[in-house]
A and B are shown apart, each in its own frame.
Chain A
Amino acid sequence: MKRLTILVLAVIGLCVLGFERTRAQKAPAPPETLIRNGTVLTITHGVLANTDVLIRRGKIAAIGKNLKAAADARVIDATGKYVMPGIIDCHSHSMLDAINEGTVSVSSMARTRDVLNPNDADLYRELAGGVTTLNLLHGSANSIGGQTTTVKIKYGRPVEDFIFPGAPPGIKFALGENPKRSSSTPQAGQQRRYPATRMGVEETIRDAFVRARDYKKSWDEYRAAVAKGDKNAIPPRRDLQLEPLVEILEGKRYVHSHCYRADEILMLINIADEFGFKVRTFQHVLEGYKVAKEIAQHGAGASTFADFWGYKIEAYDAIAYNTAIMVRHGVVTSVNSDSNERARRLNIEAAKAMRYGDLTEEEALKLITMNPAWQLGVQDRVGSIEVGKDADLAIWTAHPLSVYARVETTFVDGEVFFDRQQDIARRTELEKERATLEQAEPNRPANRGPAPGAPRGRRPSDLDDDMWEGRP
């Protein structure tokens, strides 16, 4: 009987898989797409007027005037429109319904990769804002938080398709108010978690790296012994908390550290120098402008809010000129969202650095393209429009640094994942479907059982990590 069940399930499974395959095959990506006669913002090679971009097998195959495409190519007329690389958001919590493993202050064993939700509707809204790549971060409740995941927004695909192939692994660190839990009240009988001060945060990180260094030494000694032919060498016990920290020491895993105040930024630079690793990015880094010189010297990038400030004490000295000052000091700087809402209009967030601090158009565009690409170690794949790079790009109705600009089409790996005209064309059909569902009222309780809960104002994943840190 049991076997039969398994067999039946297997057959159903195969059918579903088969169906999925057929569906995927039904709408195969055209072999070539030609975007004609647009203004191409290459980022790395200036602005090219009246230029074509040819996409072949997910890559940018050619850029130039009057390009020829295959007979069956999809041709898009971009006359009067702007073509720009897909926007890269270096600080996102999309796809994550829970972000803080807040019980311990070193949660390096927790992985965002394990809890990704590919059906997060906000992903589609981000595509509609020209965004194609996200750095999905653990929350900021921990001095050393969980592991990050870099994804491409392939909305509608299974979660495996989202993972950015070959992107270096990363990890979240956090300094200041959030890891010291100053805005969370312990419940009755609950003890306050260590650390509770910026001193304790420093000590927590130092302690973890001292342990990681010893752990690495044990493995190095073991491997050396094995290499010498010692058959009796005993391998050290595997430690999932320290393994990622060893990868940091070996330069294989990028540190993305949440921080606000200048003093804590310097603190982490000192620890990194002491243990011989580099911080890849300081995140938020709202007082980065006070220590831009030191950040540049360390070689770290900075990923900041355009102008978000004053929502808590450690954000009170935040200024919108932060981005410009850091750029002028030679820090590789990006502007991020940390919010499914702001993620939809990072073009405007980047343009704010032109108002506050007079960055040029090219510098402003780099804040959301090449610079975050470097920060995530994917600068050879995305972040600019160059032959051989992934065809992640968006077509805009006006210059994307204008508030009046709107995205028409967004491509990821050469495939269309958002198209405004298609979106609008589907609406009549969707209205019908909605009416049918509302008629059916599938959630109505059947004469017994409790009434359904009152609707939530919003799905919890909308909560900005920082605004709501420590709230229920």
Chain B
Amino acid sequence: MKNRLLPLTTIVVMFAVAAHAQQIGNPTTQQGITGTRGVYVIRNARIVTVSGPEIENGTVVIREGKIEAVGANVTVPAGAQQIDASGMSVYPGMIDVATAMGLVEVPQGAAGTVDTAEVGDTNPNAQAIVAVNPHSAHIGVTRVDGITAVVTMPQGGLISGQAALINLNGTTPREMAVVPSVALVINFPRVARGFGDREFSVETQGNQNITEAMNQVNQQIEQLRKLLRDAEAYGRAQDAYARDPKLPRPDTNIELASLVPFVRGERPVVLRANRETEIRGAIRFADEMKLKAIILGGEDSPKVASLLKEKNVPVILTGTLSLPLREDDYYDALYEAASRLQAAGVRFCISTGNSGAGVRNLPLYAGMSAAFGLSKEEALKAVTLYPAQIMNVADRMGSIEPGKIANLVVTDGDLLEVRTHVRYLFIDGVRLPLTSRHTELYDAFKDRK
């Protein structure tokens, strides 16, 4: 908390005192205080590049939103704002690729703030980027703990919609967007009822017996198959018409049109599946439909490791801090899931799977995996480089390399440790104040006598 911009803090505190009471949103960003872009130099720091070796005493140069240079012997550009980071470490910002950030403010008792699940089973053209609230309090609270980008995704029905990859700063959704449509989200049908899916409570079945439930799952898979085949056919028809306008003009169908890039394997499809049978089913289905699949959830994924590796399907592991699925599962089944995937050569990353308020705990999800078998280096990659690779943005983020987006976190210790503090924060080359709705309430009340 030491290195906050002082005048800014004063403004922010004044505002917080005036407006703290039960206000929905983040006063800082509502005021348009989103930091400043410029040329920055972070000096004398330990630089954890993630993609390459650590630099014990190095420099990072930031210009126009990008990392311009990094190394032990870098020329400092004239006129740059300098940050002496002696005794500190620079990390790439963490990335959580399974959240509902900005789509929900208060999940219970304030339905008006919930925009996560559309009506109906299939909503492929529901786009998260349209409904992201850039002024959500969750955004500030999350980024000051070093998470600089997230994938925010719709949650409902069978086909939930399209997820967006966003930086956690900006006044409009478009300013935040890194990839406005980064993946299609499908809740792969499952045989289970009730509160099965943690934060994303997908209750597709009522109180059924096992036969009925299995029949329903088969029907739902058939429904998906039919819709995706229709989209394939639609794409072919549109292409044919584009080549030969003498053909009968196919009617425009925005639902099918939105599916075309996904059924052609041009963009990934995230399939939510946790139990072994669901994961196997999802992989088989993706294989049959030639989808570029990513498994989301993946609690039983270590049991399916060889198939995942064979089909080169990556896993977004969200349950490392969940209770094991079954009463007789080993107590550490999910603590060690990441390490088992890594040992088996499966591509994976670690996510909170949390809708928003808990996303700031991402480093702890990775750290716990490191307490149970994963190396610390792999744990760090699992929340930086690996999520970037899985979402096809590793050319733009996930490590400290010249040319990448300047999403950087300067800390006073190990990024994954609980007691570590973030000292400086850059998102898209913008230096952000380390304030959030929570620090503002803290400042307003900490010295009340």
**A398, closest chain B residue (CB):** B371
Chain A residues whose C-beta falls within 8 Å of the C-beta of B138 in the assembled complex: 310
Cβ of B360 and Cβ of A453 under 8 Å apart? no
**B117 at interface (Cβ–Cβ under 8 A)?**
no
With contacts defined as CB atoms under 8 Å apart, how many contacts are there between chain A and chain B in the complex?
172
Give the shortest distance, in Å, between B367 (CB) and chain A (any CB).
3
Q: How far is the CA of A124 from the CA of B329 in the complex (A)?
A: 12
For window 98-117 of chain B, which residues contact chain A by CB distance below 8 Å?
105-110
Give the shortest distance, in Å, between A268 (CB) and chain B (any CB).
19
Q: How far is the CA of A459 from the CA of B196 in the complex (A)?
A: 9
Give the shortest distance, in Å, between A457 (CB) and chain B (any CB).
2
Partner of B22, one of A125, A316, A463: A316
Interface stretch of the complex, out of A20-28, A185-193, A317-325: A317-325
Q: How far is the CA of A352 from the CA of B420 in the complex (A)?
A: 9
Q: How far is the CA of A356 from the CA of B442 in the complex (A)?
A: 10
**Interface on chain A toward B: helix, strand, loop, or mixed SS?**
loop
Interface stretch of the complex, out of A33-41, A134-142, A286-294: A286-294
Cβ of A311 and Cβ of B108 under 8 Å apart? yes
Given the known interface contacts A289-B445, A310-B138, A320-B438, the answer about A427 and B330 at a Cβ–Cβ threshold of 8 Å is yes
Partner of B418, one of A308, A310, A354: A354
Hey, what's the 0/1 contact readout for A439-472 against B, CB within 8 Å counting as 1?
Answer: 0000000000011111111111011000110000
Given the known interface contacts A340-B323, A406-B371, the answer about A292 and B448 at a Cβ–Cβ threshold of 8 Å is yes
Give the shortest distance, in Å, between B379 (CB) and chain A (any CB).
9
Cβ of A183 and Cβ of B109 under 8 Å apart? yes
Chain B residues whose C-beta falls within 8 Å of the C-beta of A398 in the assembled complex: 371
Give the shortest distance, in Å, between B284 (CB) and chain A (any CB).
21
Interface size class on chain B is 35 or more
Cβ of A310 and Cβ of B372 under 8 Å apart? no
Cβ of B370 and Cβ of A404 under 8 Å apart? yes
Cβ of B192 and Cβ of A456 under 8 Å apart? yes
**A114 at interface (Cβ–Cβ under 8 A)?**
no
For window 98-134 of chain A, which residues contact chain B by CB distance below 8 Å?
121-122, 124-125, 128
Interface stretch of the complex, out of B70-78, B206-214, B251-259, B398-406: B206-214
Chain B residues whose C-beta falls within 8 Å of the C-beta of A468 in the assembled complex: 195
Chain A residues whose C-beta falls within 8 Å of the C-beta of B441 in the assembled complex: 289, 317, 319, 321
Q: How far is the CA of A299 from the CA of B252 in the complex (A)?
A: 70
Cβ of A458 and Cβ of B110 under 8 Å apart? no
**B24 at interface (Cβ–Cβ under 8 A)?**
yes
**B246 at interface (Cβ–Cβ under 8 A)?**
no
Cβ of A310 and Cβ of B357 under 8 Å apart? yes
Cβ of A316 and Cβ of B106 under 8 Å apart? yes
Cβ of A313 and Cβ of B211 under 8 Å apart? no
Q: By CB atoms of chain B within 10 A, which of A308, A398, A427, A458 has the most?
A: A458
Chain A residues whose C-beta falls within 8 Å of the C-beta of B417 in the assembled complex: 402-404
Cβ of B442 and Cβ of A357 under 8 Å apart? yes
Partner of B328, one of A182, A354, A423, A434: A434
Cβ of A310 and Cβ of B210 under 8 Å apart? no
Given the known interface contacts A182-B109, A316-B24, A403-B371, the answer about A451 and B419 at a Cβ–Cβ threshold of 8 Å is no
Hey, what's the 0/1 contact readout for A278-316 against B, CB within 8 Å counting as 1?
Answer: 000000000001101100000000000001111111101
Chain B residues whose C-beta falls within 8 Å of the C-beta of A355 in the assembled complex: 418-421
Give the shortest distance, in Å, between B136 (CB) and chain A (any CB).
10
Partner of A457, one of B194, B213, B421: B194
Chain B residues whose C-beta falls within 8 Å of the C-beta of A404 in the assembled complex: 367, 370-371, 376, 417
Cβ of B22 and Cβ of A313 under 8 Å apart? yes
Cβ of B208 and Cβ of A453 under 8 Å apart? yes
Chain B residues whose C-beta falls within 8 Å of the C-beta of A351 in the assembled complex: 418-419
Q: How far is the CA of A182 from the CA of B356 in the complex (A)?
A: 23
Give the shortest distance, in Å, between B368 (CB) and chain A (any CB).
6
**A348 at interface (Cβ–Cβ under 8 A)?**
yes
Cβ of B191 and Cβ of A455 under 8 Å apart? yes
Q: How far is the CA of A217 from the CA of B337 in the complex (A)?
A: 61
Cβ of A457 and Cβ of B193 under 8 Å apart? yes
Chain B residues whose C-beta falls within 8 Å of the C-beta of A321 in the assembled complex: 438-439, 441-442, 446
Partner of B106, one of A311, A348, A454, A460: A311
Chain B residues whose C-beta falls within 8 Å of the C-beta of A397 in the assembled complex: 371
Chain B residues whose C-beta falls within 8 Å of the C-beta of A341 in the assembled complex: 321-323
Chain A residue total in the interface (Cβ 8 A): 66
**B137 at interface (Cβ–Cβ under 8 A)?**
yes
Cβ of B211 and Cβ of A328 under 8 Å apart? no
Chain A residues whose C-beta falls within 8 Å of the C-beta of B20 in the assembled complex: 317
Q: How far is the CA of A177 from the CA of B207 in the complex (A)?
A: 29
Give the shortest distance, in Å, between B371 (CB) and chain A (any CB).
5
Chain B residues whose C-beta falls within 8 Å of the C-beta of A62 in the assembled complex: none
Cβ of A313 and Cβ of B419 under 8 Å apart? no
Cβ of A345 and Cβ of B321 under 8 Å apart? yes
Q: How far is the CA of A319 from the CA of B444 in the complex (A)?
A: 12
Given the known interface contacts A341-B323, A351-B418, A402-B418, the answer about A451 and B209 at a Cβ–Cβ threshold of 8 Å is yes
Chain A residues whose C-beta falls within 8 Å of the C-beta of B370 in the assembled complex: 403-404
Chain A residues whose C-beta falls within 8 Å of the C-beta of B207 in the assembled complex: 453
Cβ of B357 and Cβ of A121 under 8 Å apart? no
Chain B residues whose C-beta falls within 8 Å of the C-beta of A121 in the assembled complex: 327-328
Give the shortest distance, in Å, between B63 (CB) and chain A (any CB).
31
**B332 at interface (Cβ–Cβ under 8 A)?**
yes
**B118 at interface (Cβ–Cβ under 8 A)?**
no
**B421, closest chain A residue (CB):** A355
Chain A residues whose C-beta falls within 8 Å of the C-beta of B108 in the assembled complex: 183, 311-313, 467
Q: How far is the CA of A358 from the CA of B211 in the complex (A)?
A: 55
Chain B residues whose C-beta falls within 8 Å of the C-beta of A423 in the assembled complex: 330-331
**B205 at interface (Cβ–Cβ under 8 A)?**
yes
Hey, what's the 0/1 contact readout for B288-325 against A, CB within 8 Å counting as 1?
Answer: 00000000000000000000000000000000011111
**B353 at interface (Cβ–Cβ under 8 A)?**
no
**A313, closest chain B residue (CB):** B109
Cβ of B330 and Cβ of A307 under 8 Å apart? no
Hey, what's the 0/1 contact readout for B336-365 against A, CB within 8 Å counting as 1?
Answer: 000000000000000000001110110110
Partner of B109, one of A312, A453, A462, A463: A312
Chain B residues whose C-beta falls within 8 Å of the C-beta of A356 in the assembled complex: 438, 442
Partner of B196, one of A309, A344, A348, A458: A458
Partner of A452, one of B197, B210, B371, B416: B210
Q: How far is the CA of A368 from the CA of B325 in the complex (A)?
A: 27
Chain B residues whose C-beta falls within 8 Å of the C-beta of A451 in the assembled complex: 209-212
**CB-defined A-B contacts under 8 Å, sample of 15:** A312-B109, A313-B22, A316-B22, A317-B441, A341-B321, A355-B419, A355-B420, A403-B418, A434-B328, A453-B207, A454-B213, A457-B195, A458-B195, A458-B196, A462-B323
What 20 new A-B contacts, CB under 8 Å, besides A404-B376, A456-B194, A460-B194?
Answer: A128-B332, A177-B109, A290-B448, A293-B449, A310-B105, A310-B357, A312-B108, A321-B441, A341-B323, A344-B323, A345-B368, A348-B418, A403-B363, A404-B370, A450-B209, A454-B205, A454-B209, A456-B193, A456-B196, A467-B108
3 closest residue pairs by CB, A with B: A457-B196, A403-B367, A351-B418
